[in-house]
Amino acid sequence: MIAFLNRRPWVVTLASIVLVLAAWAVATYTGAVSDLLLPTPDELWDGAADLVLNGYKGYSLGGHIGLSLMRVGLGFGLGTIIGTLLGLGMGVSSKLDALAAPYIEFLRPLPQLAYLVLLIIWFGIGETPKIVLLFLAALPVSAVAARDGVRNVSPQRVLAARSLGANRWQIFCHVVLPSALGDIFIGARLSIGIVYATLIAAEMIAGASGIGWLILDAGRFLRSDYVIAGILIIAAMGIALDRGLIFAQRRIVHWAGK
C-alpha cells in the first residue's frame, strides 16, 4: 500500500483535495457553518456563474481580470526591465553599485503598504499610483538578482574569453550577460510573487476595478461566494503567471543546472 502510494503521489494529492471538498460540503450543508461565512458548493457555483455572466459593478469578469493583469504586467514588466538593467550596471561598475545600493537596500525590505499612502499623495488615485507601487515592488528584487548574477560569473570563463581575444564589451555580451540570465530569471520569479501579493494593496487605492478590488468590495457586503470565487481566480492567475515564467526560463536558460 505504501509502496503503491510512493509510486503514485498524485493519488495522495487527489485524496487530499477530495477530503477537503467533502469536509466543506458536510460543514455547509448540515448548517454547522453559516453560509454567511462559507457558501455551500452550489452557492459558490451560482456566485461564480453570476460573476462570469453578469460581471461585477460595471465591469465584466474578464474586464476585472484584464485590468489587474495590465497593472501587474506594467508594474512587473517595467520594474523588472529597469531593475535588471540597473542591476547589470551595478554588477559591472562598483561606482554605480555604491551610488544605487543604499536606495535598493532601503526599498527592498520595506513593506509596500508603508509607502502606499505617499504614492496616493503624489500621484492621486488613478492608475499611476497602482502601477508605481507594483513597479517599486519589482525593482529592487530584480536589481539585486541581476547584480548578483553578474558577480557570480565564472572568472575562468571570463579568462577563457579574454584569451580567445574578446574585448570588454564582447565579454559582457557573450559571457557575463548569458551567465547572469539564470539569476535574473530567479529574481523575476521572486518579483512576480511580490508584485502579485502587492496587487491587492494597489487595488485598495480608490477605484472600482480589478480582481483584487472585486474581492475587497464583495467582502464589505459579506458576499463570501464572490470573495471565494475571486480568490480561486486570483490563485489560478498566479499559478499561470509563475508557470509562464518557468516555461520561459526553461526555454531561454536551457543549460541551467546541467
Partner 1 sequence: MPDHLGVPAAGGDAVPDTGAASGFVRFDQVSVTYGAGTAQAVPALSPTDLGFAQGDFICIVGPSGCGKTTLMQTLAGFLKPTSGTVSVAGVAVTGPGPDRGVVFQHAALFPWKTVAANAGFGPAMRGLPKAERQARVEYWLNSVGLWEFRNRYPYQLSGGMQQRLAIARALANEPDILLMDEPFGALDALTREKMQEELHAVWKRRGMTVLFITHSVDEAVYLGTDVVVMSQRPGRILQRIAAPFARLAGERDIRRIKAGADFVTLREQVLALIWGEGGG
Q: Is 246 in the site for partner 1 (CB under 8 A)?
A: no
CB of 178 to partner 1, least distance (A): 4
Q: At which residue does the C-alpha cell 498566479 appear?
A: 238
Q: Is 258 in the site for partner 1 (CB under 8 A)?
A: yes
Binding span for partner 1 by CB under 8 A among 13-21, 93-101, 151-159, 203-211: 151-159
Q: At which residue does the C-alpha cell 497593472 appear?
A: 71
d(CA 68, CA 220): 20
d(CA 213, CA 200): 7
Closer CB to partner 1, 221 or 255, in the complex:
255
CB of 170 to partner 1, least distance (A): 5
CB of 158 to partner 1, least distance (A): 9
At a CB cut-off of 8 Å and minimum separation 6, what does 168 contact? Answer: none
CB of 156 to partner 1, least distance (A): 4
| Contacting partner 1 within 180-239 (CB under 8 A) | 181
Closer CB to partner 1, 48 or 175, in the complex:
175
Q: Could you write out the DSSP letters of every residue in 59-119?
A: B-HHHHHHHHHHHHHHHHHHHHHHHHHHHHHHHH-HHHHHHHHHHHHHHTTS-HHHHHHHH
Closer CB to partner 1, 7 or 254, in the complex:
254
- How many other β-carbons are positioned within 10 Å of the β-carbon of residue 234? 20
Which residue from 7, 220, 251, 254 is in contact with partner 1, where contact means CB under 8 A? 254
- For residue 18, give Cα distances in angstroms to 2, 21, 47: 19, 5, 21
Closer CB to partner 1, 54 or 154, in the complex:
154
Closer CB to partner 1, 30 or 167, in the complex:
167
The answer to whether 38 touches 231, Cβ cutoff 8 Å, is no
- State the cell numbers at 21: 471538498
Site string for partner 1, 156-185 (x = CB under 8 A): xx-xxxxxxxxx--x---xx--xx-x----
Binding site for partner 1 (CB under 8 A): 154, 156-157, 159-167, 170, 174-175, 178-179, 181, 253-255, 258
